[in-house]
Structure 1
Amino acid sequence: MGANVVLQARLQQLGLSQDQLADRCNDALLAITGRPGNMSSRTVRNLLDGSSQRPIGRTCVALERVFGCPVTDLGLSAPHSLQEDPMRRRAFMLSTTGTAAATVPVLRRRGTVGMSDVDRAAADMETLVEVDDRQGGNASLAIRALSARKKVLDLQQRNASERVRRALYALAAEYTNLAAFSYIDLRDLDAAQRYLNEAGTFSGLSQDPFAGIHFWINIGLLSSQRKNWAEHRASAHAAVATKAARNDPFFSSLARARLALSHAALGDRRAAKKALGSAQDALSKATQDARPRWTSFYGPAELNHISAITCFRIGEHAAAEAMAHRALAKIPREFQRNRALATCQLASAQLRQGEPEQATQTAVAVFSIMNGAPLPQRIRTLVGDFHRDLLRIAPSTTCTREWVERMRDEWSRV
């Protein structure tokens, strides 16, 4: 049992307090039944903290009316008796055009799940990964990923072959990894940890090598955000040891690139360069095989970006600048978040070489790259790091004053 983060996020989107949600639900019941409901803030609190996961029928009907979706999309389970509840049917009729033609008939579930069901359940993955590529993680993306995961896990309750069950667990792991990655971008690291724990369980149940290495890569990313470099290194070693990395040079390169970041952060220059060289060699041997959609971010451009970070951490700032330029020359325009991250790295490398004017011009480009989209918290953190370094290295320059003004404008707009 854990907190219902899906319902929490939907509540935040509506801008409601627990008392206000209870009031709206009671109003909904009044509109549907002619009698006011008796929900309280305690009822809502129990739903949010996970102590109530299958609310009674009246509560379900009220929640569905307020949020405009089934309770299963809110991280909750409906009582079995609610499937044919006349009050629920009436609630949905009132929320549509009011005609019988507007209602959707309830279809009887088929008893057995097959691979075609798995393929349909995976349909949202492409869209969600594309959103992540463009804008980075956000609360809406995490909610959508968890909602898709809920549908996948519901399929596990039906009859299926062992092959299908493993495929469903692999898909659940991928949706959970995507939600966790969004929370890493949002810098909600506790939520990311919870979902990565779940992703690890689903990955193990699936026995899927791609889900396994994805889990370790994300564990490493979370560790890096916490600056726990020993754990980051351990997760990179675990990724290197996975079946995916052993069998495919592409995944071997990805894992060894993460290992290079670990060694650099721990001050081991020689090991960092060795791991980076191994990552480059492995990538040169990788073929154009079909791989999971989440791997689309990795290739020569991302490896150049990782090389820039590695060089920066071991104090080779000129090399870091060169690698960041190479990365930006190859990162696709639609990968806005990755381009913004590489631009932050480039600006920091320029600043450390005593070029504050050039560095601030580069850093300003981050805002135009994101094209008005909110900056993921991970990018905001890097911009904040650059800001503090600039004030320390060149506190009295004109470019610093101009940067401070631009920061004030951008942050107030956000």
Structure 2
Amino acid sequence: MASSSVPSSQPARPPRPNLVFRHLRGSRSPAEFAAAVRRAAREIGERVSCDARYVHRVEAGEIRCPNYAYERVFLHMFPGRTLTDLGFAPRSSVRGRRTRAAGDQPAAPPENPANATSETSGASEPYETHNRYDPYDEYDTYDPHDHEESDVLRRAFMTGGGATVAAATLSPYGLAPEASAAQRPVRRAGTSDACALEEAVRRIRVLDDRHGADGLYRRAAAPLRAAYALLDAGATRQRTADRLYSGAGELAISVGWLAHDSGRFDDARSHYAEALATARVTGDAALEAHAFCNTAFLARDAGRPREAVRAAQAAQRAARPLGSPRLMSLLALREAGGWAGLADRAGCEQALIRAQAYFDRGPGEADPEWMTFYGEAELEGLEAQCWSTLGDWTRAARHARRAAELQDPHFTRNIALYTAELADDLARDGRPEEAAQAGMRALDLLGEVQSSRVRSMLSGTSRVLLPHRRTSGVSEFLDRHASLPRMV
């Protein structure tokens, strides 16, 4: 990403491992220690997203000083110690702020998360729109304003000159080959830059629809860096600035989706958080709803169903004033997927009913541009995934078949996805011959589509079909699937 025009308060240096923190972890694994951190957070009413990756980063010295939420949790876990006693650098050396006197309490987070920096917003519930609501005690969420994402809000707030941009400007297709090439100072952005950014988003979506995410993800990172460099450079008019923020947020979501669909869940999470931060800074409800929508989808795929429900509900609160029944329909489906993951059939069915009712109101002028993929085929496909998660394979197969039949040929990736879903549902429903036939059709599409999601589903289907190798067509499918080249 583009760097801020504000000089760093510290020189670049290799991270120094935090051996003190490693010693305090003792014999516990990083995952076990992360669970202890989350429990300690709940004891004092904090909300942190600590996982094994965060623990590794602390111990490696990548996180020199935690945000305030983590600070409160760590001091609660190790009473009588200071941050420096835990192996962290003084906050003043990291942020250039005045060091608090010994015994001072950490500063309370600001009331409005939109005005918070990454460091002061760690205690804020990330899945609220403007009103707080009662959290689930067992719900472990991640904080999109965490110190790990500390550059997000800095870039969003620092809109002065002096930034550099990769490959001069965004190309009309938004697929600059290498971000480090041809760097030069950027003039203040104008209407043409906003148009180029919006076109980059459209182009990436079209390519993803046709070919899947795997071959696009790394190429799309360069225009995303360029987009945030444009924000750093500032805009000639407020209207242009608003378009740039919205475009950068949508591009972050698009790049996040490419990471998501290609199995890079950590990268996707970071990009979605970046988009959400941009939405919060600018008060862009449409962008916020979109970011939460994709976050819910990612949480479902990553095995965090309660997070999926909460993110989908937050998306619906943000989207309600926008006046788009189709958007509300999709968000209800995201919620349904979360309930299915929680094995809550009643909650899932209620969300599915809402989704269908909203969908039946038809398209409208308020429907977001990014929702062009959402039609009856997608509705059927997402419902199929819900029934599959709930173990109702017969019902899931019926919806998946209908999704594949209804899908516009332009959306090649989705046809492959629905067909792979159908193959898996049929296999688990005890219909191996039909499953093999559907699997072969999905394999035919892999010549055009590069999607780790589709390949992963077909791998699951092949495992289910292994005991049925002697069934007509199954052996051919298994052999062909086994011959697929490995993904790099």
Same fold (TM over 0.5): yes
- Compare the two structures and name the one with the higher helix fraction: 1
Corresponding residue for residue 206 of structure 2: 130
Corresponding residue for residue 482 of structure 2: 408
Question: Within 2, Cα distance between the matches of 1:389 and 1:144?
Answer: 35
SS at match of 2:483: helix
Question: Within 2, Cα distance between the matches of 1:271 and 1:245?
Answer: 24
User: Percent of pairs identical after alignment?
Assistant: 26
Q: 1:146 to 1:290 in 2, by over 3 A?
A: farther
Deviation, structure 1 residue 412: 6.2
Is the contact made by 1:347 and 1:363 (CA closer than 8 Å) also made in structure 2?
A: yes
Aligned counterpart for 1:151 among listed residues 226, 230, 242 = 226
Aligned counterpart for 2:266 among listed residues 174, 186, 190 = 190
Question: Within 1, Cα distance between the matches of 2:309 and 2:395?
Answer: 23
After superposition, residues 269-348 of structure 1 pair within 5 angstroms as 269-289=345-365, 291-348=367-424
Deviation, structure 1 residue 289: 1.8
Deviation, structure 1 residue 413: 9.9
Is the contact made by 2:210 and 2:449 (CA closer than 8 Å) also made in structure 1?
A: no
Question: Within 2, Cα distance between the matches of 1:230 and 1:245?
Answer: 25
Question: Within 2, Cα distance between the matches of 1:334 and 1:148?
Answer: 24
Corresponding residue for residue 90 of structure 2: none
Deviation, structure 1 residue 411: 3.6
Matching residue's letter, 1:127 = R
Question: Within 2, Cα distance between the matches of 1:349 and 1:242?
Answer: 34
Question: Within 1, Cα distance between the matches of 2:197 and 2:486?
Answer: 40
SS at match of 1:332: coil
Deviation, structure 1 residue 195: 1.8
- How large is the Cα RMSD of the aligned pairs? 3.0
Aligned counterpart for 2:335 among listed residues 230, 250, 259 = 259
Output one character per residue of 1:257-307: Cα deviation in whole Å (capped at 9) or x when no partner.
111111112111111111101000001113332644321111211001111
Normalising by structure 2, report the TM-score. 0.59
**Which stretches of structure 1, 4 residues or longer, exceed 4 Å deviation after superposition?**
76-80
Structure 2: gaps of 5 or more residues: 4-163, 169-175
Q: Which 10-residue stretch deviates more, 203-212 or 213-222?
A: 203-212
Q: 1:359 to 1:78 in 2, by over 3 A?
A: closer
Question: Within 2, Cα distance between the matches of 1:75 and 1:129?
Answer: 20
Matching residue's letter, 1:409 = S
SS at match of 1:274: helix
Deviation, structure 1 residue 331: 0.7
Q: 1:2 to 1:220 in 2, by over 3 A?
A: farther
Is the contact made by 2:214 and 2:262 (CA closer than 8 Å) also made in structure 1?
A: yes
Output one character per residue of 1:12-63: Cα deviation in whole Å (capped at 9) or x when no partner.
xxxxxxxxxxxxxxxxxxxxxxxxxxxxxxxxxxxxxxxxxxxxxxxx9xx9
Question: Within 1, Cα distance between the matches of 2:460 and 2:355?
Answer: 28
Aligned counterpart for 1:142 among listed residues 217, 235, 251 = 217
Corresponding residue for residue 236 of structure 1: 312
SS at match of 1:271: helix
SS at match of 1:187: coil
Question: Within 1, Cα distance between the matches of 2:2 and 2:260?
Answer: 19
Q: Which 10-residue stretch deviates more, 200-209 or 325-334?
A: 200-209
